[in-house]
Amino acid sequence: MSLSRSLSGKTAIVTGSNSGIGLGVATELARQGANIVLNSFTDRAEDHALAERIGGEHGVGARYIKADMSVGDDCRALVEKAGGCDILVNNAGIQHVAPVEEFPVEKWNAILAINLSSAFHTSAAALPGMRERGWGRIVNIASAHGLTASPFKSAYVAAKHGIVGLTKTVALETAGQGITCNAICPGYVLTPLVEAQIPDQMKVHNMDRDTVIREVMLLRQPSRQFATVEEIGGTTAFLCSSAAAQITGTTISVDGGWTAL
Ligand code: NAD
């Protein structure tokens, strides 16, 4: 078996994977031979076409299943509809920025539900099958904000610290059972969402693209370089590999040195 097909025969669910990091992770897992289940809360022809394209390009099974990760029953139904999974990547996430006393309650609730509680529900639904098969990988996409804080991001920081705690607990409950649970903590990753912020930041700061990226957006990222979705995909694939069988309950930072400061 070639190294690049080391996940052949495994099924991977990646939540929130019709764009950005989730799509990058799903693509890399498909490249490694895993059958993939893409997900988001929409149900557009292009969502299903995306799954078909990745499946075709990598010669793996690929499906898109609509499920709203803010709804616990939807999270559990996603795993059920997929027929269980060997690899679960909890990636869906949203952000809102406001001072704590002005933070809209509905935004707080949505961020906690999508960025944290969804991983509780999907993990609970996926673990029995992983235990039966004696093999499983849960990878939670946390953030540098799972290890450190920034002002005005109370819900995001709380949810991301929470998912690091959930990661450790699931790891302890599954230790020695062929199952691992880890969190990846990216710094700034160049996704379409982040790309879309660059023109506004250039205008606000009256700077060119490179300067605004280096001096404003990546101020806390010592490398002054974005991480890429391919790098997060590669880190996920490593955590799914046999080399990582004893890596569990921990965080891996992919943040250009942010949390070393
Ligand atoms: P993105 O907006 O491109 O992707 C988010 C994904 O989640 C999308 O596919 C979206 O459709 C999906 N999603 C949102 N709400 C959902 C819901 N209710 N149900 C199902 N799916 C839903 O953003 P991204 O930058 O790729 O972020 C992905 C993850 O990575 C998030 O958890 C985010 O917190 C984390 N992260 C991102 C960065 C970064 O710089 N981009 C850094 C650290 C961590």
pLDDT digits (tens, 9 = 90+) for 98-154: 999 999 999 999 999 999 999 999 999 999 999 999 999 999 999 999 999 999 999
Residue-level pLDDT at 2: 43
- Per the annotation, the verdict on 188 as an active-site residue is no
What is the amino acid identity at position 201?
A: Q
132 CA distance to ligand 1 middle (Å):
30
Lookup: tokens for 76: 């559990």
Low-confidence ranges of the chain (pLDDT < 70): 1-3
Residue-level pLDDT at 197: 87
Catalytic choice (64, 156, 188, 258): 156
pTM: 0.97
Helices (H), the chain: 20-31, 45-58, 72-81, 105-112, 118-133, 154-174, 192-195, 198-205, 209-212, 229-240
Pocket of ligand 1 (CB under 6 A): 16-22, 40-41, 68-70, 91-94, 114-115, 141, 143, 186, 188-189, 191-194
Atom of ligand 1 nearest to the CA of 194: 41
Contact 38, 64 (CB under 8 A): yes
Residue-level pLDDT at 4: 72
What is the amino acid identity at position 106?
A: E
144 CA distance to ligand 1 middle (Å):
14
Given ligand 1 and candidates 54, 89, 91, 114, which is best to mutate, with the most ligand atoms within 8 Å of its CB? Answer: 91
What is the amino acid identity at position 233?
A: G
176 CA distance to ligand 1 middle (Å):
31
168 three-class SS: helix
91 CA distance to ligand 1 middle (Å):
6
